[in-house]
Chains A and B, each alone.
Chain A
Amino acid sequence: MQRIRIAYNKGIELQYTGNLDMHRVWERTFRRAKLPLAYSQGFHPQPKIQQAAPLPLGFTSKAELLDVWLDTDEPIEDLTKKIVNTAQPGIQVREVKVMSLTSEPLPNLVNAAEYRITCDDPLEPKEVTARINSVLAQVKIERERRGKVYDLRPLVQSLTLEESFPTTIMMCLASLPGATGRPEEVLEELKIDPFTVDIERIQLILNTP
C-alpha cells in the first residue's frame, strides 16, 4: 500500500461540485486509471481518500490537496502519468508525491487559506483601501453564522488590495476546526456583494511539522 499526495487545481468545470461529490470524482478517476484504491475495513468499505480543506461551492482553486491510499507498489512516475492522463476536465494535476503512511492526516495540517477575489464592478481604489483599513482597524467583528455569534476579526490574517483594475483583493483567512474564515463574510464587511465577484483559493498554508 502507498499513500500519495496530489496537488491540483480545480477549474470552472468543477466549480459547483461539492466536497462529497469531489470524493466521487477522484474515486472514479482512480478506477479509470486502473489504480487499485485501498478500502477501509468493515461492513461498508470506503475508499481511503482524504481532502485537505473543503472548498466552498462556486470557488475555483489553485491549491487543492488530496491524500489517497493505493494498493499498488507502482513507482511514483507511473502513478503520476496515469493520474494526469485520466483526470477529468476541471482538474489540473500539479504534483503527485509519496507520503509516509504514518504522517499526520492532511486536514490536521491546514492552518489558513489564501483567496483572490476579483470584482465585476470596478471600485475606486482609495475607497477599497479605506474599507480594508477600517476592517483591519477593528478589534472585534461580531457576526452570526447559523445562529451562532462569533468574532470574524481574529480569523482575518491579512487583507490587501492587490490590483485596482479589475478590483482584486487578496485575503488570508484562518482555516482551523471551528475557526474557519469565509471570504464572503469578509466581503460583506467590505460592503462588496459576494454575488458580484469570482473567488479563487490560491494557497493553503500548512503547519510545518
Chain B
Amino acid sequence: MPSPTEIRKQLRRILPRVQKPGRYAGGELNQVVKDWTAIQTHFALIFPDIYDIGVPNLGIMILYELLNQRADVLCERAYLPWLDMETELRQANIPLYSLESYHPLREFDILGFTIPYETLYTNVLNILDLASIPLSSSERGNDYPLIIAGGHSTFNPEPMADFIDAFVIGEGEEVIHEIVNTQQEWKKSGKDKAELLLQLSQVQGVYVPSLYEVAYAPDGILDSVTPKNPSVPKTILKRMVPVLPDPPTHFIVPSIDVVHNRIAVEIMRGCTRGCRFCHAGMINRPIRERPVDQIMTGIEEALENTGYEEIALLSLSSSDYTHINELVQTISDKFMGKHLTISLPSLRIESFSVELMEKLRGARSGGFTLAPEAATDSMRNRINKPISTDDLLNTAREIYGRGWTTIKLYFMIGHPDETLEDVEAIVRLCKEVIGEGHKIIGKKANLHVGVSTFIPKPQTPFQWAAADNQESIYAKQKLLRDNLRGPGLKFTWSNPKETILEAALSRGDRHLGKVILAAWKLGAKFDAWQDQYQYNTWVTAFESCGIDPNFYIARTRGLDEVFPWDHISSGVKRSYLQKEYQKSLQGILTNDCREECLSCGILPVFNNLRREHPGQLWLCPEVK
C-alpha cells in the first residue's frame, strides 16, 4: 500500500483533472486529525455515495464526534468517488483513502458503513474494491479491517450478509464504543478473526451473519435461521439509547457546496403516529424528546463552531414534539433578523403548522411541504394516516393566504388494494388545492405534486404485502400525468423500474448477495441516481443467478411465513405488526399510541431501561 505522502503526491496530478476536486481533498473546518502512530485504534466512517451527499449525513456526524472524543481512537471519513475520480484512481492504482490523513482504508482497524437505503448496496462493494479489500467477509482474515455496517436498511441485513462482518442494529451512540472495546481486546489477545466475530456477537445489537445457518424450504421460502454456536443469540435486539445525548455541535463544514449546508438537530427520535407504511416510525420506537434548552444550547454551540447559515430541526413528526411552540418561539426570538434559514420539516396538516412556520420564516423561504400520502378516506384508513380533506384545504388556504406561493404535496401510490378511483381522487384533491390558491393569490399560486410508489418494507405491517406490479403503476402514473395539468401545477413521479429494485432488495434474503455481486460486476453502481441506475444490468444479474425478483417483489406472504429478518428485532412484536396488517386489510384505523398503549412490544422488551429512566422521558403512556 502506498503511504499517505505518496498518495498526496499522486493526487496533486489527478485532482486538477476531475470535477469538483474539493470532494477528495479533505481539510475542512472541524475535521479531526490525530497522530496516526500514537493512537491505538483507527476507525473510518464511510458513507457509500459521493461526498456531496455523504457529508451532511447526521449519523456519520454523531459517531465521528463521539469516536474522536476518545483518546485511544482516531476516526476519519471516506466517501465513494464519482465516476471520473474512480477512473483516475483505478488508472493510477491509488487505493481509496481517508480524507483526514490520506491513509488507505485497508490500513484502518475498523471500517463503519452507514447504509440508510438499499440502493447503496453496490456502492459498498465498489468502495471495498477501490480500497483493495476482498468483498466477501469469508475472504478477509486478520490482516484486513473489521467491516461493520449500520443504518435503517440493516433492519434486514440479509442481502448484504456475505460482505459485512458485523451489522449494528439500531442506534449507534453506545454500542459503537462496545464494538471498539471488543476489537481492542481482541487485537491484544492475538487471536484470529473468528474469535473477534464471536466476541462481537455477544454485544447486544450486533449481528454477525456468518455465525448463523440459514435453511430454505423446497419452495425457496426461508425455513430457519439458526445460530451455529450455542453462545450466539437467536434473536438480535436493536440498540436504543434511553435518553438522547447532547447533539453533535462540531459539524464538518465542507469548503465546497454540498446538498445540505446546515446544522441539523434532532428534536426528537421516534414517532407514535403508527402510519403502517413507515419503516422509520416502526424501527425508531419509543419516542424520546430533547428538552428545549438542550436543543438551544446545541444550536448555539454549533453556530459558533460552524458559522452555518441554516438550521434544520429534524424529527419524524415535528408537530408532535411536546414543546414545539416554546421551541419555535425561542428560536424565533433569538435568531430572527440574523440572516439564518430555519427549516422545520414533517409538519402535520393543520393551520397551526402554518403559524409555526410563519414564526420561523426569514427572508429566504421556499415552499410549504405537506405529506397527505393518500386522497381518499378508505386509503387513509388502510395506511393509518387519517387526514380530512377539509383540514388539507383549510391548511392550503392558510398557506397561500399568508404569503407562500408554492405548496408541495407528497402522495404515494401502489398500496395493496388501491383502485383507480383512489388515484383519481389525488387529481381531484390537487385541483381543489390549486383552485384555492388561484382564488387567493391568482396566477402566482403553485402546487408541486410528488407521487412516489409505495414499497412494502420489512419490520412494518406491510411486510406481508405484495408490491404493486409495474403495469398497474404505469397505468396509475399515466392517469396522474394526463390529468395533473394546468396552470401552476407541477407533477413529479418515481420511475417504476427504480422502485422495483428497492422493493426486491428491501425484503430480500441471503440469496440476493450473489445478485448484488453479479450486478456490481456488470457495472451497477450509484443505483440511487436516476441517471446512473441500470435497470437492464439488474435484470441480467437476477437472470444469471437464476433468481426471480418477483419472488421478493410481487408475492403476498403467508401469515406464518418465516421472514429473512425475523431474527432481527426492532422491539416491535411481529404479532403487533400482523394485527396492524389485518386492520389495514379491513380499513380500520389505529390511534396514536400516546393516547393508550397498543402493546407494540417496546415497553416489555426494554423494561429494564424504562425502569432505570422513569418519568415522562419516553412518551409511552403508563401501562396498568
Contacts and interface: CB of A to CB of B under 8 A. Distances in A.
Interface of A: 12-18, 20-21, 24-25, 27-32, 34, 37, 39, 43-45, 47, 57-58, 86, 88-90, 120, 194-196, 198
A156 to B, nearest CB: 22
A21 B17 contact: no
A32 B303 CA distance: 7
B306 interface: yes
Contacts of A13: 25, 27-28, 255
B62 interface: no
A89 B31 CA distance: 10
17 contacts: A12-B25, A12-B27, A14-B27, A16-B25, A21-B255, A24-B261, A25-B255, A28-B309, A32-B307, A34-B304, A43-B363, A45-B363, A58-B16, A58-B21, A88-B29, A88-B253, A195-B16
A184 to B, nearest CB: 9
Query: A-B pairs with the 4 shortest C-beta distances?
Result: A28-B307, A13-B27, A31-B307, A16-B22
B557 to A, nearest CB: 50
A56 B585 CA distance: 62
A12 B12 CA distance: 10
Interface string B531-571: 00000000000000000000000000000000000000000
Interface residues of B, number: 27
Interface string B3-38: 000000000110111001110010111000000000
Contacts of B307: 27-32, 86
Nearest to A46: B339
Contacts of B304: 32, 34
A120 B10 CA distance: 11
A37 B308 CA distance: 14
A28 B306 contact: yes
B29 A89 contact: yes
B257 interface: yes
Given A14-B255, A86-B307, 17 more contacts: A16-B255, A18-B256, A21-B22, A25-B255, A27-B307, A28-B306, A28-B309, A31-B309, A32-B303, A32-B305, A32-B307, A34-B304, A45-B339, A57-B16, A58-B15, A90-B27, A195-B13
A21 to B, nearest CB: 5
B303 A17 contact: no
A43 B365 CA distance: 11
A94 B48 CA distance: 40
Contacts of A30: 307
B256 A16 contact: yes
Contacts of A45: 339, 363
Nearest to A29: B307
A12 B20 CA distance: 15
Contacts of A27: 307, 309
Nearest to B362: A45
A40 to B, nearest CB: 11
Contacts of B309: 27-28, 31
A191 to B, nearest CB: 17
A63 B306 CA distance: 25
Residue among A27, A194, A198 with the highest chain B CB neighbour number at 10 A: A27
Interface in B226-266: 253, 255-257, 261
A79 to B, nearest CB: 16
Contacts of B253: 28, 88
Contacts of B28: 13
Nearest to A86: B307
B188 interface: no
Given A15-B25, A29-B307, A21 B16 contact: no
B18 to A, nearest CB: 10
B611 interface: no
Nearest to B363: A45
B339 A39 contact: yes
Given A16-B21, A27-B307, A45-B363, A21 B29 contact: no
Contacts of A196: 13
A25 B305 CA distance: 13
Contacts of B17: 195
Contacts of A21: 22, 255-257
Contacts of B13: 120, 195-196
Residue among A30, A32, A47 with the highest chain B CB neighbour number at 10 A: A32
A54 to B, nearest CB: 15
A13 B102 CA distance: 13
A86 to B, nearest CB: 8
A144 to B, nearest CB: 20
A44 B16 CA distance: 34
B364 interface: yes
Contacts of A17: 22, 255-256
Contacts of B25: 12-13, 15-16
Contacts of B256: 16-18, 21
B251 to A, nearest CB: 11
A28 B252 CA distance: 13
B255 A31 contact: no
A24 B307 CA distance: 10
B373 to A, nearest CB: 33
A13 B309 CA distance: 22
A29 B17 CA distance: 29
B12 A198 contact: yes
B416 to A, nearest CB: 46
Interface string B179-223: 000000000000000000000000000000000000000000000
B136 to A, nearest CB: 35
Interface string B297-319: 00000011111110000000000
B452 to A, nearest CB: 31
B549 to A, nearest CB: 41
Nearest to B18: A16
A37 B88 CA distance: 41
Contacts of B20: 16
A44 B309 CA distance: 14
Nearest to A196: B13
Nearest to B20: A16
A24 B339 CA distance: 13
Contacts of B21: 16, 57-58
Contact of B364 (A15, A44, A57): A44
A25 B13 CA distance: 25
Contacts of B15: 16, 58
B555 to A, nearest CB: 49
Interface in B262-309: 303-309
A31 B257 CA distance: 18
Interface string B22-62: 10010111000000000000000000000000000000000
Nearest to A14: B255
A195 B10 CA distance: 11
A165 to B, nearest CB: 18
B121 to A, nearest CB: 30
